[in-house]
Structure 1
Amino acid sequence: MTGKQDPVLIVGGGIAGMACAISAARNGVDVEVIDKYGPMATVGIGITHAANVLRVLRDLDVLDECIATGGPFDGWVFTDANGENRRRVDMPRLAGDDKPAMMGMTRPDFARVLTSGARREGARTRFEITVQSFEQDESGVDVTFSDGSRQRYRAIVGADGVHSQIRPMLFGDLGAPRHIGQAAWRVFMPRLPEINDLWLCDSGQGGKAGFVPLRSDLMYLYLTDTYSEPRPPEGDFAEILFERLKVFGGPVGECRDRYVRDGREILWRMFEFVDLPPPWHRGRAIIIGDAAHAASAHLGQGGAMAIEDGYVLGEELGRHDSVEQAFAAFMERRFERASSIQRWSQQICEWERDKSPDADAPGLTAKAFQLVQQPI
């Protein structure tokens, strides 16, 4: 523990930024978080927390609140397009025998838990404000904000997502987002009684559909789809998704017929990859989470890697007097792990896109599960 006079600025109030704020504050670091959006603004529908995430949320002292708010479960169910030939894979309970192995949450609920956790630990938050510029020297960072104010910090953390503002300020075009031809559809709907795990249903034609439990009464249906252009399809989303799901029967087909065309909101989002070369830091500024290594959803680990980043960086900032040493220790713990997950999720994405006959998604998924069970 060290007595640092200047605070650390975290740019981005999403999952990486708030996890970092909680972790750093719990380790004695003075922390301020800013975000360009308003409080509780979120992108997306829901988020899956795998076993390694629950372990971190336990250590951040927010797991019980997440469990009370979300939809806990213990594994995956793999099926064919008709929901048959079911194979269940249990996941380890890394957060403790009395905790679930996995869970889903709505993104607004998760944002509320993290933000309240950060404030409870003493982190300060400011919303609807951005960084206009910053200047570094040997002892700190002078930051000018969009409202004209100026303040000095010990370090600056860019945790502001795929389309980061801070990353190009440090690295120019390095790590700019790229698309590789796949997107995901997602839509909220009432939870079916039989959906007690994360479901993945193979269409047999490259794409996958399935369900993620979010609460006792809520889940979302997802579909991975192939697109050559990084822009939303033209036309009525409900009709397009209904047609895309026609290959599926079983629970997916049932939910397609009951809910997809009933007027509820449907989200479409292209998978974007960010692979910033190491190190992810220059001077007293560092990039973490999706801003450094965004991946697709194929392994359910994109958000997990962002949360782990925040947790580890908070620990290292509290452990070291030197920002340089803290950043180096962070990279030592994070680069290989996060990069492997990103590389493997991209491989599965490409297999699905190309309908590869040599694809081994189950094997690569098992390899990823083995990795993330290891200590961070």
Structure 2
Amino acid sequence: MASQLRVLVHGGGIGGLTLAIALARRGHTVEIAELRGELEALGVGIIQPSNALHVMREISVLDDCLAAGFPWEVLTIADPAGNALARIPQPRMGDAPACNGIPRPALARVLGAAATAAGAKIRFSATVTELTDDGAGVDVALSDGSSGRWDLVVGFDGIGSPLRTRLYGDRYTPEYTGFANWRVTVPRLPQVRGVVMATAGKEAKALLTPITDDSMYLGAVFAEAEGFRPDPERAHEQLAERLTMFSGPVAEALATATDPAAVVYSRISQVTVEAPWHVGRVALAGDAAHASAPQLAQGAAMAVEDAVVLAESLDAHEGVPAALAAWEERRRPRALWVQALSRAVLKQETGGETTPEEDDLLKIGVPGAAHVLVEPY
């Protein structure tokens, strides 16, 4: 597409910032409407698998991500006492490291600085209040009192996407899986130089993920009632109660988790937008279109892939509608495959009943999936 576009990105998370960088560096005019008052990232850390790091190279922030995080190459499977059962080298896409652990706030800073440097404008405390697509463009009013006309509006606004609700009402509300993720940042143990997955069969699994030289996060998934919330005064103790079957490094990590406020609890929900991800000149991407369970550590990776592929499609096709159709045709199979396998692995790990289709997916396993996902996106 030879002409410069005006693009509004609704949401300043990982995917939205990546799209803003990719488009602004191509000369398009980009604004991000971010509901929060700053680029504060909720949560603890995040795994950037090789395909996500390949995207970071494409938008020229790979070195910054590696400097802010903890690159690693080998996944260790351990017993509840921490004894290694297997060490599995992770595949690479290109010459970037196999994986990188990074604190979410650090990644937000890296991407936010790059977006601003590329020329994108970020409007904080702003969300869409009115939106009219007349076929030739989209007129948008924002909650900060600003308004404008855009060639394209992209909703990278998360699993609870307000933009998705505008397009589809309540047809695609988040579906709670019955499980929740507990995470807490603790000092990194010297022996944790890559993800350590300690497993007690279907009873429990705990992950230790290094995110800087000095820190790592402990994560665990458990079945939880939909209305359950940790006690704000003893969330760290409730996590420890769920992991009593572990000794070794998991127990050492728990011993250093003494602040209940540091425990991050999030229900695992899924969204599948079965209708087109775009209506006219308004598109949904990342978790707004295809949120999945975290079992493959691919949620953010799928979002950043969505972003760079959308930028490429706008380059390659004449007209926004044609570019969006080509983008979705390219992205939908891969993103929904990740979503389906992630859900199947969650069921398998927690003793849930799987369907015949999920049983077929599970034949590839998590190690096999990693090799599939270093293929070009």
Give the TM-score range, shorter chain: over 0.9
Q: Distance in 1 between matches of 2:354 and 2:201?
A: 11
Match of 1:251 in 2: 249
- Pair 1:44 & 2:43 matched: yes
Q: Distance in 2 between matches of 1:349 and 1:152?
A: 43
Match of 1:314 in 2: 311
Of stretches 19-28 and 237-246 in structure 1, the one that deviates more from structure 2 is 19-28
SS state at 2:269 partner: strand
Aligned residue identity for 2:277:
W
Q: Distance in 2 between matches of 1:263 and 1:185?
A: 12
Aligned residue identity for 1:32:
E
Match of 1:59 in 2: 58
Q: Distance in 1 between matches of 2:68 and 2:367?
A: 29
Of stretches 224-233 and 182-191 in structure 1, the one that deviates more from structure 2 is 224-233
| Residues 30, 121 of structure 2: 8 Å contact kept | yes
Aligned residue identity for 1:249:
S
Of the three residues 108, 113, 119, the one matched with 2:110 is 113
Q: Distance in 2 between matches of 1:254 and 1:361?
A: 32
SS state at 2:185 partner: strand
Q: Distance in 1 between matches of 2:222 and 2:113?
A: 36
Q: Distance in 2 between matches of 1:80 and 1:175?
A: 39
Q: Distance in 2 between matches of 1:207 and 1:362?
A: 21
* Structure 1 residue 46: Cα displacement: 0.8
Q: Distance in 2 between matches of 1:35 and 1:262?
A: 30
Aligned residue identity for 1:303:
A
What RMSD over aligned residues (CA atoms) do the two structures have, in Å?
A: 1.9
- Pair 1:368 & 2:369 matched: yes
Match of 1:211 in 2: 208
Q: Distance in 2 between matches of 1:44 and 1:150?
A: 32
Match of 1:89 in 2: 88
SS state at 1:306 partner: helix
Question: After superposition, where does 1:267-346 map in structure 2 within 5 Å?
Answer: 267-346=264-343
Aligned residue identity for 1:374:
E
Q: Distance in 2 between matches of 1:264 and 1:167?
A: 32
| Residues 202, 350 of structure 2: 8 Å contact kept | no
| Residues 93, 375 of structure 2: 8 Å contact kept | no
* Structure 1 residue 338: Cα displacement: 0.3
Q: Distance in 2 between matches of 1:375 and 1:220?
A: 30
| Residues 58, 95 of structure 1: 8 Å contact kept | no
- C-alpha offsets along residues 181-203 of structure 1, whole Å, 9 cap, x if unaligned? 11111111111110011111112
Aligned residue identity for 2:273:
L
State TM-score, norm by structure 1: 0.94
Which 5+ residue runs of structure 1 have no aligned equivalent?
none
- Pair 1:237 & 2:235 matched: yes
Q: Distance in 2 between matches of 1:326 and 1:100?
A: 31
Aligned residue identity for 1:364:
G
Q: Quick one: structure 1 residues 281 and 29, their matched pair in 2 at CA, closer, same or farther if it must change by over 3 Å?
A: same
Q: Quick one: structure 1 residues 319 and 24, their matched pair in 2 at CA, closer, same or farther if it must change by over 3 Å?
A: farther
